[in-house]
Amino acid sequence: MSKAFNHESVLPDETIKYLNIDKTGKYIDCTAGGGGHSRQILERLEEGGLLIAIDRDNEAVAETMKVLEGTKTKGEYLVLKDNFLNIDKIIEKYVPEGADGILMDLGVSSHQLDESNRGFSYHNDAPLDMRMDKEEQLTAYDVVNGYTREKLTVIIGKYGEERYAGRIASAIIHKRQETKIETTLELAEIIKSAYPSKDRFKGKHPARKTFQAIRIEVNKELEILETAVRKAAEGLKPGGRLAVISFHSLEDRIVKVVFSELVNPCICPPNFPVCVCNRVSRHKLISKKPILPTSEEIDNNRRSRSSKLRVIECTGPQHK
């Protein structure tokens, strides 16, 4: 049985502040989750305002619909089951003049972690799944039982930034030669056994980074992120803002690089006295450094501790 949907939005006050809500503006929440950020945006809209909330998880879509139905507002809203990679199509269809604000809250939600049968957590026993969108085909079971040692090593090392990626991949291969690896706790034990004993009980759970890596691979999170951020930034109207909340260094690095390239698009060699590529910036950073959660928020919501918010603003007309 599914638990009641529970997802506490991170950086809620900071997100609303930096989105700079216009009460008659058009906003898109690309990762609605439990509807927390969406509700806060919708509450601030009046007649003429529009919120479009999207998520690729059916359970999140249903919960967001429920939350927004109970929100007091004069603004309109629309909830869509979609992937934020399609943000350009959503903008073209619903807000062709450009969005006043777009939010991306990346990574796995609290509900997905807590819902044991989704297979995201190494603390609960569940089938190896990890799909954010249950209609997709690739699962964690397929990755763990089907990928080669070399591919597992690359994924665990790259997406998990795991120093023992090779040892863990070898342990997985060895175990699955005996029998298929079916559940999250089976996998967590294999990962733990691959760790050197001196590091096995230090700090965080040994399976944390590998589970992150497999989840990212299953959902193609980093593959679509750069493209989606660029599409979202280009879909803003002048004065519109894109706010992105990331939770680990790989996500944040991509967002930081894309924002930097949007703000400084010139590709001329540094020794050129003047720009000849004619690439003109139509964005500016709202904060050069990421906005971080307060110590009070971290105390109240431990999952916010690694979150970083970056915000960019459109300063010129949309590209047609």
Summarised one tens digit per residue, pLDDT across range 151-171 is 999 999 999 999 999 999 999
Tell whether the model's pLDDT for residue 2 goes beyond 50.
no
Report how far residue 246's alpha carbon sits from residue 244's, in angstroms, rounded to the nearest whole number.
6
Residue 128 and residue 183 in contact, taking contact as beta carbons nearer than 8 Å: yes
Q: Which residue has the higher pLDDT, 3 or 176?
A: 176
Query: What single-letter amino acid sits at 109?
Result: S
Q: How many CB atoms lie within 10 A of CB 73?
A: 17
Q: φ and ψ at 307, to 5 degrees? A: -75, 145
Q: pLDDT tens-digit profile of 263-310?
A: 998 888 888 888 888 888 899 999 999 999 999 999 999 889 999 999
- Match domain 12-111+224-314 to its CATH number in 3.40.50.150, 3.40.470.10, 3.40.50.2000, 3.40.50.720: 3.40.50.150
Q: pLDDT tens-digit profile of 91-116?
A: 999 999 999 999 999 988 877 877 87
Report how far residue 172's alpha carbon sits from residue 184's, in angstroms, rounded to the nearest whole number.
12
User: What percentage of residues in the chain have a pLDDT greater than 90?
Assistant: 81
Tell whether the model's pLDDT for residue 6 goes beyond 80.
no
Tell whether the model's pLDDT for residue 30 goes beyond 50.
yes
Q: φ and ψ at 261, to 5 degrees? A: -70, -35
Sign of the Cα pseudo-torsion (84, 85, 89, 92, in order): positive
Report how far residue 304's alpha carbon sits from residue 263's, in angstroms, rounded to the nearest whole number.
28
CB burial class (10 A; 0-12, 13-18, 19+) of residue 21? buried
Q: φ and ψ at 270, to 5 degrees? A: -60, -20
Res 318: pLDDT: 61
Tell whether the model's pLDDT for residue 8 goes beyond 90.
no
Each domain of the chain, given as residue ranges in start order, spans 12-111+224-314, 115-219
Three-state DSSP class for 176? helix
The answer to whether 12-111+224-314 and 115-219 have equal CATH topology is no
Report how far residue 171's alpha carbon sits from residue 287's, in angstroms, rounded to the nearest whole number.
44
- Stretch 165-185: mean pLDDT: 97
Q: Which two tokens stand for residue 204?
A: 């965080």
What CATH number belongs to 115-219?
Answer: 1.10.150.170
CA distances (Å), 113 to each of 6, 10, 63, 118, in order? 10, 15, 16, 8
Res 1: pLDDT: 41
Q: φ and ψ at 102, to 5 degrees? A: -135, 135
Tell whether the model's pLDDT for residue 145 goes beyond 60.
yes
Res 224: pLDDT: 95
Instruction: Tell me how many degrees the CA angle 125-128-130 measures, rounded to the nearest 5.
Output: 105
Query: What single-letter amino acid sits at 241?
Result: R
Tell whether the model's pLDDT for residue 313 goes beyond 80.
yes
Instruction: Tell me the sheet residues that pair with 236.
Output: 99
Question: Whats the size of the chain, residue-wise?
Answer: 320
